[in-house]
Amino acid sequence: MNNIKNIKIAAVAGIAAAASSLFAGVPLNNLQGTGGIAFNPLAYTAGLPWDEGGGDTTNAVGQSALNGVISRPQVGAWYVNLTDAEINWFALGTAVTLFDRLEISGGYGLINADNYGDNAINSYNVGAKLRFLDENAFDTSWVPALAVGGVYKYTDSKTVDALGLDHDGFDAYVVASKLIKQTPIPVLLSVGGLLSDEVVNGVVGHNDYGAAVFANIDLIPVEQVAIGFEYKQGVNVGDGITNHDYFDGHVAWFVTDTLTLVGAYAYTGDKDKFYRYGKTKDLGVGGGFVLSIQYQF
């Protein structure tokens, strides 16, 4: 797919020609399954073409009949240990891209939140993202990839009824992403706008809609390693409920052209405000360490 190829080519410029698979893992399957990093989507769509990556790449006539129709699938697993709030969050996501434009994704989360009256929350996400402008379109070196998308989210959290929230909701977003190769080391920048009704990323429930912004930056200082920072503004969803801003710092190791490992530290705001007061401004569930394994077939 064009966006994956552009990332690979740009990332190795000025580093080493041998690192042709340097950025093969981008985008990851984020915590909701969407192609992105951890919390945020990227404008790039998920999945390698069938004539790239691992495994058997050809059919009997020497070229996969699926090229240009559907990408290879990719999967990502996450473990988030929010030690401040004693919450363990497991997530599994998968995604493919149709016709080199339309990403379809799904995600499942299992969240242990004993301290909040929910000892086993199940969350389900189904997403779609359309990349309507390719990176470096019009024979330029500065045009970002642009995409619009949405995620339907459902949670069975018991806190939904206690706070008078809804079990399901929908996110809509627009995002621009660009890999800059003119700098001494490649830099991936991404920024977007989000319309959401989520409470704690949709895990706790959904209420009224509010707008927010999000952004990512990743540096590639050496072969097969990216170091980055992620920001997601907290959405005000009405009734005195405002999500706290989310932050994470992460390191990604592109082990092979199909396998990526990620370690991070995330902070979601003061856990005590939610634990003590229920409806509140700056709703958060503390901070903790994050691990992820990503695989592109």
List the pLDDT tens digit at each of the 297 positions of the chain.
545 444 443 433 333 322 333 355 789 999 999 999 999 999 999 998 887 555 444 444 445 667 789 999 999 999 999 988 888 999 999 999 999 999 999 999 999 877 666 678 999 999 999 999 999 999 888 999 999 999 999 999 988 888 889 999 999 999 999 999 989 999 999 999 999 999 999 998 999 999 999 999 999 998 899 999 999 999 999 988 899 999 999 999 999 889 999 999 999 988 766 555 455 667 888 899 999 999 998
Q: Is residue 58 part of a domain?
A: no
Spatial neighbors of 263 by CB under 8 A, at least 6 apart, are: 250, 251, 289, 290, 291, 292
Q: Is residue 196 part of a domain?
A: yes
pLDDT at 279 (0 to 100) = 54
Q: Is residue 152 part of a domain?
A: yes
Instruction: Check which CATH number belongs to the domain holding 119 and give it.
Output: 2.40.160.40
C-alpha dihedral (218, 291, 1, 219), degrees to nearest 10: 10
Domain total for the chain?
A: 1
Spatial neighbors of 62 by CB under 8 A, at least 6 apart, are: none
Q: pTM of the entire structure? A: 0.85
Q: Is residue 60 part of a domain?
A: no
SS (H, E, C) the chain: CHHHHHHHHHHHCCCCCCCCCCCCCCCEECCCCCEECCCCECCCCCCCCCCCCCCCCCCCCCCCCCCCCECCCEEEEEEEEECCCCEEEEEEEEEEEECCCEEEEEEEEEEEEHHHCEEEEEEEEEEEEEEEECCCHHHCCCCCEEEEEEEEEEECCCHHHHHCCECEEEEEEEEEEEEECCCCCCEEEEEEEEEEEEECCCCCEEEEEEEEEEEEEEEEEECCEEEEEEEECCCECCCCCEECCEEEEEEEEECCCCEEEEEEEEECCCHHHHHHHCCCCCECCCEEEEEEEEEEC
Spatial neighbors of 109 by CB under 8 A, at least 6 apart, are: 31, 32, 89, 90, 91, 92, 121, 122, 123, 124, 125, 203
How far, CA to CA in Å, does 198 sit from each of 13, 46, 81, 151, 235?
A: 40, 24, 21, 11, 7
- Structural domain containing residue 179: 2-53+66-296
Q: Is residue 39 part of a domain?
A: yes
pLDDT at 4 (0 to 100) = 45
Q: Determine the Cα–Cα distance for residues 240 and 208; give it in Å rounded to an integer.
A: 11
pLDDT at 240 (0 to 100) = 83
pLDDT at 80 (0 to 100) = 96
Q: Is residue 197 part of a domain?
A: yes
Tens digits of residue pLDDT in 114-153: 766 667 899 999 999 999 999 999 988 899 999 999 999 9
CA 68 from centroid of its chain's CA atoms? 24
pLDDT at 14 (0 to 100) = 32
pLDDT at 286 (0 to 100) = 87
pLDDT at 64 (0 to 100) = 64
Q: Is residue 122 part of a domain?
A: yes
Tens digits of residue pLDDT in 18-54: 233 335 578 999 999 999 999 999 999 999 888 755 5
